[in-house]
Structures are given as structure tokens and as C-alpha cells.
Structure 1
Amino acid sequence: MSAEATNPGAPIRRRGRPRIDLRRLGRVALLGPVSRDRLPDAIGHVAEAHRAHHPDADLSVLHRAYVLAESSHRGQMRKSGEPYITHPLAVTLILAELGAETTTLTASLLHDTVEDTEVTLDQVREQFGEEVCYLVDGVTKLEKVDYGAAAEPETFRKMLVATGDDVRVMSIKLADRLHNMRTLGVMRPEKQARIAHVTRDVLIPLAERLGVQALKTELEDLVFAILHPEEYAHTRAVISAATAATAADPLAAIADNVASVLREAGITAEVAVRPRHFVSVHRVRIKRGELRGSDFGRLLVLVGEDADCYAVLGELHTCFTPVISEFKDFIASPKFNLYQSLHTAVVGPDGEVAEVLIRTHRMHKVAEAGVIALGNPYAADGTAPSAEPAGGAAPGAEPADGERADPTRPGWLSRLLQWQQSAPDPDTFWTTLRADLAQDREITVFRTDGGTLGLPAGASCVDAAYAQYGDAAHNCIGARVNGRLATLSTVLGDGDTVQPLLAEDAASGPSPDWLDHARTPTARIAITGWLDTHPQDTETAAGSPADATGPGPQPDRAARPARAGSAGTAGRTVSAVVERPDTTVRLAGCCTPVPPDEVTGFTVRGGAVTVHRLECPVVTRMEAVGRVPVVVTWGDAAECRVTLVAESFGRPRLLADLTEAIAGADAAVISATVEPPSEQRVRHTYTLQLPDAAGLPSLMRAMRDVPGVYDVSRAQHPAAAL
């Protein structure tokens, strides 16, 4: 891929200052050190950008850091042929333009010295202090020689732990990845794709959570160009055609009208057209089909005070026709990444709809740079730029539930640091990290003791129980949601009040069914750990789906005893004949076996036998600990319960069409879960009651025939993959 292809913003650059010529910087850097009383020319652009945000900054430390970096990297070249020093210079310039303070810039200049040169952490500490040393160490990769395939996930684990103590570690990493992505065209295509996938799955979500939109949007475009070259080329052509069009820009006309209205109202404001980046245009095109002239950007209105934002909103809704469904107030209720703005949309004189963002200049700085805009968030003198949360609480205040309100240590980061300690295996950590970061929205639920819990959208009472009680939630038997009894599978909404209910019997444990409803890594890792260490108890719990589908909390998780030769799980009447008379038989809830599945069984507490499909992960675990299987065969087939997973592309009426297909097969829906969309794909999980197990294949075919559905499969216990 050409360098131009991996740099989608260059020819159609719409915001920010022009890119610096790194080859020229490289030539300047090769001239060697300069006198002590003069700043090196090679970092003149860094100094200029830094002084724009921090006029009184002491640049002498940057001088010393550059001299050390230049001398230690001298002779090293990048794959592009440029002197290596151009990379830390470019990373530092990115951070300087976003308003990072001097300590961050110092560490950025030195961020590769310990990894790639003879400079040691002790030298960095001695010359620049403990703070800079900590930041440099936080972004230093672990040696592949020592860690092998685990080097990358363990490096990210190390970086996240360091970020928990100082968020500037991740700021440097994000800027480092942005410059590497800008220059990725010199790499082999397969390496470009690998780096782009990690950027998409880990770095971009972290940039979003830290509120650094300026980095996030460019990273999205660069990843888009590498992983989806055809869609990228089409989007690029559409934007180029719109830019070159001779017709009047409808957004510019609406912007002029808005500016005139605000002047007449006596409101001092800046009104500008803010072009969408490539991925944003692509998403709008997917959502709306044919693009309108006003779809290529949004209006940005900047004012001085919070109250002015609402004054602007009032004028817009008075003088233009508002699109009420587009209104969102992120000032009264900021996003979890510090973002604050009013969002609305108005209809212009020609019928064009313009989306409008209204924010103060301070909000705009935080919206673009996120935590980087906080300056030094740990300064004892409180000189860091303010990023006040709603309600005027001080950024460092401790709320009642003990979770830090410090915006540099948000709740999602605290939870991430908590669960990573319980994931010692690098593969588990890496898989779980990506899954956790894929959650694109967060909700707040209230505890009955007055505290709050931050959870991802789609979280259930299972997640709330583990978030509040940790491993003690193993004894949970249900919950109250908004004062009413609810099952553990109940999905929580933003603003709900939840009270998990714990059993007095400390010997009880979770059911494998809980994994079907757990969305947080904290819950999933805790449940999986308990199931792996209690295989016999797992078997007893697996027979009962009461926690997942029952009408309320069930104190006894074990399935009720059934007559020999019948399935003891509620609602299942498919029979299985074990080679023992008068034995209670249960069908496992983890793999929901039905005829003609190949099955086996294991004896559990009380002498009952639980039946599993042969490919169920629980079978592997039981055999690994020496459990002897029991021969099981199918008897008469009548009603059966089964869990199916439908993978599909998102579209309107998809849920209704799937439900219609299920009803057409005379199957009853016991429970259904729809996961949040990811990259236009949606996963539906249905627990169904069939009148006859023989109808299962035709039911699955009918579901696959629904437009947009590309796969339907039997649910499998997820514990082994976690």
C-alpha cells in the first residue's frame, strides 16, 4: 500500500495545522547537537506548538531531552529511510498540538530510548526525575525474546497498569501509534493488517474512552484505508466529488444564517462548518443510503459560557425547524469520556438538515484532546486546566461509593485494572480486553445503599452483582430492579436501581447459564474461575436454567428431581435411558442437548446424571479431572428446549422477521438476547421450546433464510474460550 493510501487525511486535510516535513526535520537532526543556550532547530515546531498552549513553559528540559534522544538514536534509521529521531519528534509534535504539558513532551521525546538504545531507566530517572522515568517505562515494550507470543498482550497489560497510576502513559502510546500508522505504507501488507487490527480493537477504543477525539478519528481513517481499501476508495471519491462540486455548499449557507440569527440575538459565538472524517461519512452513507449535501459535515457553534449554549439552542429551535429526535444534552449528562456538548439538528430554508454541535471553547478543547487537555492532572498546585464534571464537583473528589471522580481515572479504567488481575493467562487477557473495549456505551445504575455502578450497555443483574460484591456474588440468587423481583438475566437500563440478593448458604455457586448473561470481564472471569475449580458443582448447576428464565429468584439452583429416564430441567420432556435403574436424569443447560445429538453423561451430587453433548467443553473438563462418563441413549422424543445463536447484519425489522420465522416453526421463545451491534453485525441468542426435537433442523434452516442472517448455530458454553 502506498504512503498516500495510509494517509487519507493528507490531500483532503480539513482541520488542524499542516503536516510537518519529517525529511527536513531529519536533515536538521543530523546536523548534531547545538549550543546549550539555544533550542535545537529540529524541535522548533514542537516549541511553537507547546508555547501556544503553555506560554510560560520552561523549554530547557525539552532541550536536554532532545539532545539525549538525538545522540542516542543517531545512526538508527526507520524503514522509511528517515533518521529514527524523526519519530519521537513527530510523536511529541502531535502531543504538543493537543496541549500536552512539558513533562509529557519530555517523556515523549525519550519514549523509545530505553527500548532501542543504550540509555537506561536509571539514566532517565537521574537526568529527568521519577515522573518522566515512570512515563517512559510505561510505554516501553516487553522483550519478545523473553515473552514470545505473549509479548504484545503483556506489553499492553503493563501499559494499562501504568495508565491506572498516570494516564499520560496512554496519551504517549496513542500518539506513538498515530505516527506509526501514518507511515505504515513501508510495511508488508500482512504486517499492516495485523497492526491495523490491534489499532482498531484496542487503541481506537482506548482513545475514545480517554476522549482524545482528534487522535481517534484519524486512527479510524487510517485503519479504514488498510482493512477496507475498496470502501475507503469509494468514500474518498465521494468526498472529493463533493469538495470539487461547483454548487453552493448547503452547510455554509445554513452556517451564515445561524451566525446572523445569533448576532441579532446578541449572542457572541463562532460558527463553523466541521467536515466529517472518512469513516463518519461512510457510516452516514450506510445509514441513509444516498448522501445529501449537508451530510458531509456538521455545524460547530462555540460560545463562552455554559449558559450561552442553551441560549444558542433556544434561538436555533425558535428560528429554524428543529429535528427533535436528534437532540441530546451531553452538558447536563456528560459522556463517560469527559465529552460535553449539546447536539441538535435543524432544517434549513432549502429543506437541508444540518446537525449542530454547541459547546464552549473549554468543552471544545476537552472534546478534541480529552485527558491530554487536562495538562498535568496530578499537579499539587491545581494549575491543571479544569474539566469539571456535571454538578460542579471537584475533579479529584471522592464520591460516596469510593470510586474516584478523578477524570483521569474513570470508572471503566478502574474496572479494567481490577479484572486484569484475575486473568493471568495472556490469551485470556487479550481476548477479554478486546471484548471489553468493544462495548461502545456505558450506563449508570444506582445501588440501594446510595452508591452507583458504571456498567457497559447490555449488562445484566449478574454483572451488577459481581461489580458490587466481587466473588461473594457467587451466592447470588436473584435481584430487585427498581424495587421489583427480577431474575439475574434481567438487562439493566441507564438509571435503574438494582439490589442483588445473596443466599445465606456460602457453599452455593454460580450456574453456567450465568455466562450467557454476563457482559463484564469481572463477572465472566469470576464465574469461569469458579466453574473450572468446582466441576462437580458445575454439573449440578448446569441442569437448571432457573436463573436465566424463571420468574424470580430461585434459592435452589439444582434441578428438581425427576423420574428415572426423564429430563429434570423445567419444561424439558425429551427422555434419555441411562444404564442404571431409578436414576434421575437432567439435560445440561450449558449445551442444551436434543435428539439426535451424540451425548454422554456424568454422575453428580445426589446420584443424578447430567447429560451433555459430546463436544461440550464441560465434558473435556470432567474427563480431564478423571470423572468417568456414563453411557446415555435417547428415549422417546417429545418437547425439547434448545438455545440458538443467529449471526446477522443489522437492518430494520430484523428482530421481527426472525421472531416470525421462529413462530412459523411452532417454537415458543423462552428468552431472547440481542447484543449491541459491532461493525454492522448483530448477534441474537434465543432459548426456544420446540414441540418436537425432530423439527430443529427445519427451524434452523428457516432462521438462516431470513434476509441478513448469515449463520445460525447451537449455543455452546463459552467458558473454554474465555
Structure 2
Amino acid sequence: MSAEATNPGNPEAADRWRGRPRPALRGLRRIGRAALLGPAPRDGLPDALEHVAKVHRHHHPDADLDTLSRAYQLAESSHRGQMRKSGEPYITHPLAVTLILAELGAETTTLTASLLHDTVEDTEVTLDQVRAEFGTEVCYLVDGVTKLEKVDYGTAAEPETFRKMLVATGNDVRVMSIKLADRLHNMRTLGVMRPEKQARIAGVTLDVLIPLAERLGVQALKTELEDLVFAILHPEEYAETRRLVEKYGGHPDPLAAIAARARTILVDAGIDAQVLVRPRHFVSVHRVLLARGRITGADLGRLLVLVAEDADCYAVLGELHTCFTPVVSEFKDFIAAPKFNLYQSLHTAVGGETGEIAETLIRTHRMHRVAEAGVIALGNPYAPTDGADAPEGERADPTRPGWLDRLLEWQRTTPDPDTFWTSLRDDLAQDREITVFCTDAAADGPAGTIGLPAGASCVDAAYAKHGEAAHGCIGARVNGRLATLGTVLHDGDNLHLLMAQDSAGPSPEWLDHTRTPAARLAISRWLARSQGTGEPPAAPAGRHGERRRAPAHRPAGPDRAGAASGLVLADLPGATVRLAGCCTPVPPDTVTGFAVRGGTVTVHRALCPAVARMAAMGRQPVGVRWRGAAKGGHGCRVTLLAEAFSRPHLLPDLTEAIAAQGAAVVSAAVEPPHEQLVRHTYTLHLPNASGLPSLMRAMRQVPGVFDVVRAATAVRTGNC
């Protein structure tokens, strides 16, 4: 692994030839010179470890450096005589990886494992020896990194390689932290590799390691890896971007003037804040160029405002929006709703006096550490409280991101490496994640929220929240409105998933709406199982232990006009009274009548749209009223519309509920389903009008039915 990643003999000349940005190398050169002199301790600390220790003490003043010193001495003696292709002692590689992690604030256990991460693979040191000298926790990390490196990175091996990588990451995110730092140092020293090998390593880094760095929140590693990969895979675009940056580098920085004015404003407001100009890395500049077609000096960086407390962030926001012209569309609050990778900040943009737009990040110092170092900044998530070593095996990690739990779950249920690899790449290719708020119960992440990739649908949300139980999802309400399962969700949407225990399961059309591997794989497995038996699994039994069925017959009701004559009196002597079929009034509805041809009076509910239309046409109403006895117990006819999610056995279940209420089905019509929504229209005869409310309640309780309304007031929902 690392033995192949070598330093060029003349790194500065190589970088000039490649046009690649060089990180600060002073500390690494000092490490290299000290390593050449051997491990000679000074004041108990090897010279080569001095710079690492200084950086580590900056983040952890009380750190025990004795453990680091012993780890370095074991690593140096074990690797002694091994050289990199650049001619440097091999020990410079684990030292450089450890320095990268120390600069990000990693705790002592991670740094100890980093110093030893190649010893078990490349030397005679054993895991038992590491465990005996440094404890179970360090041994666990070294073993995790070693397992990742035992598999070749060739194309054929990639699926299984990264399955193991994911499992190792899931058991302890610090394993991946060491791996990312290892890859960064190797990418920095890739100059003497053959071009085709550089491209292969850069491609794997781009496809998997950079997205994982993003998801672990380690932005400092991610951005440098992006620039190094950019220079290798797209040298012409990289050179053009670098030329633009250098062109504007010779001009006054417009962001500096805005930053100076912002400092004055915040001082006058009594807010203690640091205002910095944060340069964009080359890939970020290139993205701006692609999005806007051109760049200005203000596009080469962003303002970064650092404060002490969360409340100060909002105070800064208020002052900047008051004293500058804000670009409202650019405002995002990732403090109230943190991103999936622990990131928190307020994002906004303000206009300067000469028209430049300054993108601005506002965060606390703690948020800034997490934004730069992600999970590395969180320390040891498994630190025992009683001084004992943490147990081996699968461990509960309070810092493990929800997305990682989801990936671990579906990789466990996807035995085929190629399917897993394709799904992993698809998932990692999602460059933005949204947060959806759940009103029914808590999900991954903060209570009541689900993290999803941009473009995800209600189907994705169902499987992210419920796993395999999402097979029973029959619909959703988004922001209070009924929505199909294919509805695309947006950041901040309020979601309520509708579940049914006797659902027929997912349909193949669900796959058209999936964006996440978890949903796609779960649906595909269910469909494969159902196709294996020739038909989908049978629907569960009904409430009484046997399958629901429709009534054997549908009795016809009495003649509508004959029934009306016994129920309604009209103020038109000798007129025949008929109940309108459009709204099917029943006692005690408020009613009105209109005379039609043949001396007939048609009775409508007062709220029927037909009443308004006839009044607008100048038609005069006829007074009508229910007979006194009608309110007490005469039969009536009514038309009800049931709106539901399409599923097998819905029609018999509804007719069973109707029959249980003593109503007779005069006629029924079912519209073809559209996007899983279906509408049933029933004309029913009730023995007693007072039973209508309980009938409608019983119909609404049938699984899959979301509303039952009288015909005249029915409103189409969705696209049905």
C-alpha cells in the first residue's frame, strides 16, 4: 500500500511541472530530517516526534505523550531499513499521516494507532504485541486499517474492498479517519508513479474516499484530496483554474474591504467575532466557473465569521443583513437543522458597496472545528468511563452518522458484491442531502428528522425510516397535503407516512421513484421473492382472522321518487318530489328545491353547487322541508365518494364495512387508479338517515382510505 506511494526526488520541481498546489511542508520536512537521524530521544521524546507532539498538545494540553513516544519507537525500529521509492526512510509515512491527524485534533489513541498502522502489515509486529503494549483500543484500530489494506485496489477487487472498508468504518469511524489521512499523504507523494497508475488511484479516491470524507465531515481532508485528484484527472481544467486564481491574485481583494467593514460593524454592535477571508480551493473555484460562466475576485473566497456562542451567530446575521444588502435566496440555517455530516453554520450572502457579492459563513469556534475535522474532532466515541478498555466487536457509537447506519444495513442484506458496489457508488455520488421533518415519530438523526439525498421521494423516506416495514406504506402527507409516494421531497418538508399492516407490498413502479440504495434494494428483494412464487404474498387476514370478502349480493333500494315522497314536503301543491342525484340529500340536511319539467320538484342540499348555478340563472327556489317523522327514522339514499390508495381487496373491504352498518349498495363505480390513488363512488340506501355519520366513519377506518365525503362536496385530491 503505502510502500508504493512514494515521494518524488524533487517535489518542488515535480509540482511546478504538474501545476499542483503544495500544502505546508515545513513540518513534514522536519520530520524527514529527524527520521534520518534515528530515534534518539531528547527529554524522553524522539526528535522526529517533536513537531507532532507540539501540534497534539495544542489541541489536547493534557495529552499523555509517553504513549506516542513508545508507539513511535516501535514503529521506527520495525520499519528500520525500509525505504520509500523517494529514498526517504519509510517511517516518514506513518509520521506524516499522524501529523495530518494531529493537525485536525485527533485524540491520542487515534495518533498512536496511526503511528502503528503499517506495522502489522509490513513488519514482524503482531496484533497480540500491539494489544499487549498499547491496549485493546489501539489494537482494534490497527487491525481495522490493516484489513482494509490487505485487499488489492484493482478494478476486479473494488466491490469487496469497499464493502470491507464500509464495515470497518461502521465499527469505528476512526479507522476511516486514519485511512483518509493515509490516502492524503500518498496522494501528496504520487508524483513518481506512472501516469496510468496515478489515474487509477486518483479515480478510486474520487469515487469513494472523497465522498466518504464528505460524509464523515472531514472537510480539510476532502478539499485537499479534491484538488490533488483534479490536477491528475483534469490537468487542462486545473491549469486554467490555477491561471484564473493567479490572475486575480495580483489585484486588490474585494472581500478584504467587505471583511474590514464587517469587523467595524460587529465591534460597534458589541459582538466579539473574528472575520476572516477564507480562500476557495481550486475545485470550488472551478465549480463556480462552471455554474456562472465567469468568476470575479469575490468568487475566489468567502467570509468566515467565528463567534463564541450559538446565539451570537444569529446576532451577527442580523447586523450583516441590516448594514449590507442581503441576498435572501442564499440564506440557509444549518445550525437549527445540522447537515447529515454534523456540519453546522449559517450561510448567507451580502452585497458590498461596489456591487460584489460576498458569500458568508457564520459559526462558533466549536462548529468550525467540527466543520474542518468532522468525526475526528469528536474525540474517542468509545472512551470508557471506568478506565477499562472498550469491548471489541460491534459497539454503539453516539457520533456515528445516520447515513452510515443505513449503508451498513443495506450492505448486510446485499450479498452480491457487484450490486453492492454499484449501489455504493450511486449513494456516494449524491452531492447534497436534505432534511425532512417527521410528525409521526422519530427517525435517524435528531428526533423527528430523516436525512435523504437531494431528489429523494416519499418512497425513499419510508425505507430510510422503517426499513423492510416500509413495504406496508400506502401513501404520505407532505406539508399537510396528501401526496403520492413518488412525490419528490425538498429540504425542510414536513412528512407524515401512512402505513397499513395489510398492504399488498411495493409495486415495480416504486423503483421509478427511488434515489437511495436502501429503498431500491429492499424493493427489488421483495419483488424477486414475490416473482419466485408466481404471485405477490397473500394479503394478511382481516380483523376477525379470516380474509375479508365482499357481500354476496347488492340489494337494490326502493324507487328514488317514491322514497322522496314520504320524506319531503314541497310548497308546490300536487308536485312530485325527487331527491337530486348530484348531492343525495338526507335528513337532517338543509335543503332547497327547484321546479323542473313535468311538475317535479328536485330537492338539493343547500350547499350543492347546482343550487348556486340555478340561482345565478334566475331560477326561483321552491320551499321544501323534511317531514317530521323523516328526521327520526325513515330510510334514505345517499352517494358517497371514498378516496383511497389503491391496493388489493379494497373494494370488498369497503363493501363489508358498508354492509356492517346496515346500508345497501344500490350502485358502485371505481375509477382507474392513477399514481396509486383511486376513487370509489357508492350510491347507498340507509334504513335510517341518522346512521350516515357512523357509516362514513366506518368507511374511513378501512385501511388505505384517507377520506369519505358526500358527493356534492367531493374534491379531487392529487392527480386522481
- Contact 1:6–1:222 under 8 Å retained in 2: no
1:178 shift after superposition: 0.8
Aligned to 1:283: 287
- CA deviation map 1:526-545 (0-9, x unaligned): 2222333443567889xxxx
Correspondence for 1:239: 245
SS at match of 2:206: helix
TM-score w.r.t. length of structure 1: 0.67
User: Secondary structure of the residue that 1:519 maps to in structure 2?
Assistant: coil
Partner of 2:206: 200
Q: Find out whether 1:501 has 2:499 as its counterpart.
A: yes
1:188 counterpart = 2:199: no
Q: Which residue of 1 aligns with 2:335?
A: 331
CA 1:495–1:346: 2 relative to 1, 3 Å? same
Pairwise CA distance, 1:417: 0.9
Pair 1:268 & 2:259 matched: no
**Contact 2:345 2:367 survives alignment (8 Å):** yes
Matched position secondary structure for 2:45 = coil
Is 1:429 the counterpart of 2:433 in the alignment? no
Distance across 2 between alignment mates of 1:147 and 1:216: 20
The residue that corresponds to 2:377 in the other structure is: 373
Partner of 1:443: 435
Q: 2:438 is aligned with what amino acid?
A: F
More displaced 10-residue stretch of structure 1: 218-227 or 320-329 = 320-329
1:519 to 511, 515, 519: 515
- Could you tell me which residue of structure 1 aligns to residue 129 of structure 2? 123
- Which residue of 1 is the match for residue 470 of structure 2? 473
CA separation of 1:347/1:149 partners in 2, compared to 1, >3 Å: closer, same or farther?
Answer: closer
Alignment RMSD (CA, Å): 3.3
Helix, strand or coil for the counterpart of 2:363? strand
Q: Which of 467, 473, 489 does residue 486 from structure 2 map onto?
A: 489
Partner Cα distance (1:74, 1:215) in 2: 29
Structure-2 change in CA distance of 1:206 and 1:509 (3 Å): same
- What does residue 112 of structure 2 align with? 106
Cα deviations by residue, 1:308-344 (Å, 9 ceiling, x for unpaired) = 2222222212222222222222222221222122222
1:516–1:382 distance in 2 versus 1, CA, 3 Å: farther
In structure 2, the CA distance between the partners of 1:121 and 1:144, relative to structure 1 (3 Å rule), is closer
Alignment-mate amino acid for residue 498 of structure 1? H
Indicate if the aligned counterparts of 1:300 and 1:357 stay in contact, CA closer than 8 A: yes
Q: Which residue of 2 aligns with 1:258?
A: 262
Letter in 1 for 2:44: R
Counterpart of 1:458, as a letter, is G
Q: What does 1:246-645 align with in structure 2 at a 5 Å threshold?
A: 247-381=251-385, 406=398, 408-439=399-430, 440-446=432-438, 448-449=440-441, 451=443, 452=448, 453-482=450-479, 484-493=481-490, 494-502=492-500, 504=502, 508-535=504-531, 553-556=645-648
| Corresponding residue SS for 1:349 | coil
Q: Which residue of 1 aligns with 2:689?
A: none
CA–CA distance in structure 2, aligned partners of residues 4 and 94 of structure 1 = 20
Q: State the one-letter code of the partner of 1:265.
A: A
CA contact (8 A) 2:63 2:108 kept: yes
Distance 1:152 1:23, change over 3 A: farther
Which residue of structure 1 lines up, in the alignment, with residue 564 of structure 2? none
Kept in 2, the 8 Å contact 1:6–1:183? The answer is no
> Tell me, what secondary structure is at the counterpart of 2:15?
coil
Kept after mapping to 1: 8 A contact 2:530/2:536: no
Could you report, residue by residue, the CA deviation over 1:633-660 in whole angstroms, capped at 9, with x for unpaired residues?
xxxxxxxxxxxxxxxxxxxxxxxxxxxx
Amino acid at match of 1:435: D
Q: Tell me, yes or no, if the aligned pair for 2:348 and 2:359 is still in contact at 8 Å.
A: yes
Residue 211 of structure 1: aligned partner: 217
Distance 1:109 1:404, change over 3 A: closer
User: Secondary structure of the residue that 2:305 maps to in structure 1?
Assistant: strand
CA contact (8 A) 2:478 2:493 kept: no
User: Deviation string for 1:205-252 (max 9, x for gaps)?
Assistant: 111111111111111111111111111000011111111x2x422111
Look up the SS of the partner of 2:452 in the other structure: strand
The CA deviation at 1:88 is 0.6
Change (3 A) 1:261 1:197: same
- Give the deviation of 1:415 after TM superposition: 0.6
Deviation digits for residues 446-486 of structure 1 (CA, Å, limit 9, x no counterpart): 15245543332222232233334433434544444455544
Cα distance change on mapping 1:184 and 1:557 into 2, 3 Å: farther
Per-residue CA distance 1:600-627 (angstroms, 9 max, x = gap): xxxxxxxxxxxxxxxxxxxxxxxxxxxx
Structure of greater Rg: 2
Aligned-partner residue type, residue 229 of structure 1: P
The secondary structure found in structure 2 opposite 1:211 is coil
Equivalent of 1:224, from 230, 245, 252?
230
Q: Which of 92, 96, 107 lines up with 1:90 in the alignment?
A: 96
Match of 1:140, SS state, is helix
| Change in 2 beyond 3 A, CA 1:177/1:288 | same
1:4 equivalent in structure 2: 15
* Structure 1 portions without partners, runs of 5+: 384-402, 542-550, 559-568, 573-670, 673-722
Closer, same or farther in 2 for the Cα pair 1:63/1:571, shift >3 Å? closer
Q: Would you say how many aligned residue pairs link Structure 1 and Structure 2?
A: 527
Using a 3 Å threshold, how does the CA distance of structure 1 residues 552 and 175 change in structure 2: closer, same or farther? Answer: farther
1: distance between equivalents of 2:149 and 2:171?
23
Q: 2:441 & 2:324 partners in 1: Cα distance? A: 46
What runs of 5+ residues in structure 2 fail to find an aligned partner? 1-7, 388-394, 538-642, 651-670, 675-717
Q: 1:109-147: per-residue Cα shift (whole Å, max 9, x none)?
A: 011111222211111111111100111111114576899
How far apart in 2 are the matches of 1:347 and 1:447?
38
Aligned-pair CA distance for 1:182 = 0.8
Amino acid at match of 2:419: T
SS of corresponding position for 2:435: strand
Deviation at 1:377, TM superposition (A): 2.7
Measure the CA separation in 1 of the matches of 2:318 and 2:54. Answer: 39
1:73 and 2:79 are equivalent in the alignment = yes
1:355 partner SS: strand
Give, in whole Å, the separation in 2 of the partners of 1:147 and 1:300.
Answer: 38
What is the rounded CA distance, in whole Å, between the counterparts of 2:246 and 2:75 in structure 1? 40
Distance 1:66 1:81, change over 3 A: same
Distance (Å, rounded) in 2 between the aligned partners of 1:533 and 1:351: 61
What's the counterpart of residue 46 of structure 1? Answer: 52
Shift of 1:25: 3.1
The C-alpha deviation readout for 1:161-189, integer Å capped at 9, x for no partner, is: 23223221111111111111111122222
1:286 to 1:145, Cα distance in 2 relative to 1, 3 A: closer
Q: Percent identity?
A: 71
Task: Give 3-state SS (helix, strand or coil) of 2:278's partner.
Answer: strand
The amino acid that maps onto 2:645 is P
Q: After superposing the two structures, state which structure 1 stretch, 521-530 or 478-487, moved more.
A: 478-487
CA contact (8 A) 2:41 2:47 kept: no
Report the residue type matching 2:185 in the other structure: H
Find the residue that maps to 1:377 and give its secondary structure: coil
